Amino acid sequence: MWSLCHALLASSFLTAPNPAPADDGCLAQTKPAAAAAVPPRLQSPAEVVDALQRSYEGVRDYTASFTQELTNTAAGETTRSQGTLYFKKPGKMRWDYRTPEAKALISDGTTLWIWEPAFKQYAAQPVSQSSAPLALRFLMGQGKLSDDFTAEVKAVKEGSVALELTPKSAASGVDKLRFVITTADWKVQEAVLYDPLGNRNRLVFSGAKWNSNLPDAGFVFAPPAGAREIKAPGR
């Protein structure tokens, strides 16, 4: 369990109180707000970062389908997954995996739970002990990209721009982070995270909805009767 979960958290880059994976529609029943106005044509990495940051400042919550490819460089293996993710400010997230097997990563902003219903087991750790805050906290209304990363524009195409971010802190557990951003609304369409060993976590988002008034209850995990806790390393 932990090899996959840590590979995700190195990037991670997730209802109801029932911990089982949720139906995609249960948390996103209202229409998202209209997209933010498109800023002027950008000339520098700092301007791209500022436009990206500002586009998420007005987002209270976010829902999207995702596909994920985790590549283990040493083993030469890539695993693929699909599911639905949810973010809510401040600091809440949930990832509900459908394929290749059901599982969920849930955070109320303080604790991160990993739930595997097939094995009826879960693990928990403080969010502060994972690398998730650095890579994703700007999406959850915490922190600023310009404070945590050095930015470089890698590619500009019609309708999109690729931004490469290098952490300023070597202790982040992240080597670099690459965003593909749609310039129509300045939202992240694709995120690729590389760890110091060269492993890659690629996430592609689709069907995004914003400001759907997601309930707080969807970001809390209550272990079901008979569930077994697996202690996370260091706990």
The β-bridge relationship of strands 77-88 and 61-72 is antiparallel
pLDDT in tens, 172-228: 678 899 999 999 999 999 999 998 899 999 999 999 999 999 999 999 999 999 999
Q: What is the pTM of this model?
A: 0.78
- Please state the rounded mean pLDDT for residues 84-110: 94
Categorise residue 183: left if φ over 0, alpha if ψ from -120 to 50, beta otherwise. Answer: alpha
What are the structure tokens assigned to 226, written together?
């008979």
- Please report, for the chain, the start and end positions of each structural domain, with discontinuous segments joined by +: 2-29+44-221
User: Which pLDDT tens digit goes with each residue over 114-128?
Assistant: 999 999 999 999 887
The DSSP 8-state label assigned to residue 171 in this structure reads G
Ramachandran angles phi, psi of 50, nearest 5°:
-65, -40
More confident site: 156 or 115:
115
Question: Left if phi > 0, otherwise alpha if psi is -120 to 50, otherwise beta: which for 61?
Answer: beta
Please tell me the predicted confidence (pLDDT) of residue 157. Answer: 86
Binning pLDDT at 50, 70 and 90, where does residue 24 land?
very low
Query: Could you tell me the strand order of the sheet in which 200-210 lies?
Result: 149-157, 160-167, 176-182, 187-194, 200-210, 61-72, 77-88, 92-99, 103-107, 111-116, 121-126, 228-229
Predicted pLDDT at 43: 64
pLDDT at 95: 95
- CATH architecture entry for 2-29+44-221: Clam (2.50)
